[in-house]
Structure 1
Amino acid sequence: MTIGSQIAWDDTILPFQLDRSDIRGRVARLDGVLDELLAQHNYPRPIEALVAETALLTALIGQTIKLRWKLSLQVRGDGPARLIATDYYGPSKEGEPAWVRAYASFDADRLDPDAAPFSQIGKGYFAILIDQGSGMVPYQGITPIAGGSLAACAETYFAQSEQLPTRFALGFGRAQEPGQPDHWRAGGVMLQHMPKASPFATGGGSGEGGLLEAQDIVEGEDEENWMRANTLLETVELIELVGPTVQSTDLLVRLFHEEQPRVFDPQPVQFGCTCSADRVRESLSIYSAKDIGHMTTEDGIVTADCQFCGAHYEFDPKTLGFEAEESPGDGE
């Protein structure tokens, strides 16, 4: 196995369909993109793990959105891990890579380095927001934090908000290959039953707090197919999920060869951020000159730092807000 052949399936999302079962899915592998994403910050290990899991879920879910759309995933809780936020930007053109970015907000004094990462979230909610672009109303769905993992939260979200049976198998962590420094790797498989003409589940479900789960929204032959595919997915091993020696197509054959897997074109993914000086100016345009004055440093400038990529911006306060005295180009 050569490094070049690893790159062929690292940092990609491979869509597939199980023709026998009427189930679709994705296989995601994040290697360099996850390392670059986490390198923007200096998070404690539990927070790194939560960001890695959320980024992997975002990549798996986001691959279904259209070109130029944006999918955001947010996890908010009352525990030490207050916020995990990730964005997936659909490519601007066919064949171009999608972008993923992420950041976390946490209370370092309350964080327990020895506790399970998911337990650091506490009570809160898991939300997905889809932005379809200018002039369109964003879509948002929310479900409570429940189930023992972020993957379980995502499964509950799809059962509750979309009534789509969904299952995730995720693997992530630091890995070290011979002669290479340790680095982050992540891989996962997402299964989702093809949508029906109309959902039929009503009332409470069998999940935590009466939430709907996948088994509550399938019946008959669909239930048999769903349970069979899930049983096969449960045989996957961590090394198969994260690689690097098992490529995505081989993994599908190992798991689902009897389900007639059919693959589609893979989607490359990379770390990327959309921040810019113009976007910061736009976000500050709602403030008065008095408000801008409160933001101005002793050196007479207004500064802003991107929480996702760490980019640092400095502005002349006279060029900011809706009472700006000068345009950005004046005096240059």
Structure 2
Amino acid sequence: MTAHTEPHTRPPAAEAVDDRVTPFHVDGLDVRGRVVRLGTALDAVLAHHDYPPAVKRLLGEAVALTVLLGSTLKITGRFILQTRTDGPVDLLVVDFTAPQDVRAYARFNAERLAAMQAAGRGGDSAALLGHGHLAMTIDQGLSVNRYQGVVALEGAGLEAAAHQYFTQSEQIPTRVRLAVAEEMHPGGAASSWRAGGLMVQFLPTEGGHLRPVDLHPGDAPEGTALPQAEEEDAWMEAQSLVATLEDIELVDSDLSSERLLYRLFHERGVRVFEAENVVARCSCSQERVMNVLSSFSREERDTLVEDGRITVTCEFCGRNYGFRAEEVMGADEADEASAAN
């Protein structure tokens, strides 16, 4: 006879720790997911550029989403989230190198952003992005082909784009919540930024099954009734619980990730796993920049030479790298480029 042993249980940790990703599983709902809380790491990412608050907020959402997705990688590699759109913020790039390094960059049009803010829409993430596409890329190095999923951005925010990505590319029922806040400090101290995110996915195991939802055929005549798959009761319950989550709970510096998960799922039994760190770190280096310059054509390198030197600035961290032209081009080629300039 084998004794029945109850799973180990303990109260949720009360201490809130930033810059961590906490994986979890809710057995009673066949749901797994992750919670990310970002503090110092997000501030370090944003500090490299003088972004307006609206851009910081949007980029903070992108960083939180990228960390949620990239931290699921069980391989050595990079997860890259990139948007290209027609909005005032026309480019976002977030680069997560497993298992913990993240860097990010945003490009924006200051005049269009100011006009939007004057119209009272400065904090609308969907309006900041506009229309275009979002690409998510997994890069495992030269020996493995890249995987890339692309979804349209059609006037909605990053949460909606993530939902569309999982429906279209992975066909895994998924819900994502993102929040960013500027934290003000007393005594005139500089403010800081915080971000939080929650991702839940419905992945039934024993006795469960997924009901795939057909994608829209695209060419069906207008008004055609399309088949709708009924959602599992457990997944409907999980979505209802996630819908109760407020932004303040995701960014509250006094609320631990474990206590947050307990609030949402304790009736169904939530299990947490070892948390993973997140570090703001740029992967640029003198050697990497040199390799990139060496891959340019002679004509491209010619345009970079100024006073016998080539200077490159990393868009992510703002670090400058300087080279003598002959280091990159060869002495004869460098002389010709300097004479032309």
TM-score band w.r.t. shorter chain = 0.7 to 0.9
Aligned-residue Cα RMSD (Å) equals 2.5
Is residue 285 of structure 1 aligned with residue 297 of structure 2? no
CA distance in 2, matches of 1:274, 1:55: 16
SS at match of 1:184: strand
Q: Where does residue 274 of structure 1 map in the other structure?
A: 283
In structure 2, C-alpha distance between the alignment counterparts of 1:247 and 1:295, rounded to whole Å: 49
1:160 counterpart = 2:168: yes
Structure with greater Cα Rg? 2
Match of 2:216 among 194, 204, 212: 204
Q: CA 1:302–1:233 in structure 2 vs 1: closer, same or farther (change >3 Å)?
A: same
TM-score by length of 1: 0.84
1:47 paired residue number:
55
Partner of 2:192: 183
Post-superposition offset of 1:324: 6.9
Q: Give the share of equivalent positions with the same residue, in percent.
A: 41
Task: Say which SS state the counterpart of residue 127 (structure 1) adopts.
Answer: strand
Match among 114, 122, 130 for residue 122 of structure 1: 130
Q: Per-residue deviation at 1:177? A: 5.0
Instruction: Work out the CA distance in 1 between the residues paired with 2:238 and 2:155.
Output: 21
Distance 1:269 1:29 in 2: 9
2:305 to 296, 300, 303: 296
Q: Indicate whether 1:81 and 2:78 are aligned.
A: no
TM superposition shift of 1:202: 2.8
Contact 2:211 2:230 in 1 (8 A): no
Inter-partner Cα distance in structure 2 for 1:80 and 1:243: 29
Distance of 2:158 and 2:278 partners within structure 1: 21
Query: What residue number does 1:329 align with?
Result: none
Q: Structure 1 residue 75: deviation in Å?
A: 1.2
- Give, in whole Å, the separation in 2 of the partners of 1:240 and 1:302: 48
Separation of aligned partners in 2, 1:268 and 1:253: 21
Partner of 1:104: 106
SS at match of 1:278: helix
Superposition map of 1:133-144 within 5 A: 133-144=141-152
AA in 2 matched with 1:187: G
The offset of 1:316, in angstroms, is 1.0
List gaps (5 residues or longer) in structure 2.
1-13, 334-341
Q: What is the rounded CA distance, in whole Å, between the counterparts of 2:128 and 2:163 in structure 1?
A: 20
Answering whether residue 157 of structure 2 is matched by residue 149 of structure 1, we say yes
Q: State the alpha-carbon separation in 2 of the partners of residues 118 and 201 from structure 1.
A: 26
Does the CA-based 8 Å contact 1:70-1:90 persist in structure 2? yes
Give the paired residue count.
303
Query: Which residue in the other structure is 2:249 paired with?
Result: 240
The aligned residue for residue 320 of structure 1 is: 328
State the one-letter code of the partner of 1:102.
A
Cα offset for 1:30?
0.3
- Quickly say closer, same or farther: Cα 1:29–1:205, change in 2 above 3 A: farther
- The alpha-carbon deviation at position 67 of structure 1 amounts to 4.1
Partner secondary structure for residue 75 of structure 1? strand
1:251 equivalent to 2:253? Answer no
Query: Distance between the aligned counterparts of 1:270 and 1:41, measured in 2?
Result: 18
1:185-239 deviation per Cα after TM superposition (whole angstroms, max 9, x unaligned): 1112111112788873334189xxx9xxxx96x645xx21111011111112222
Structure 1: which amino acid aligns with 2:250? L
Q: Deviations over 1:124-171 (max 9, x none)?
A: 011100011231001000000136321111111111111011111222
Other structure's SS at 1:296 match: coil
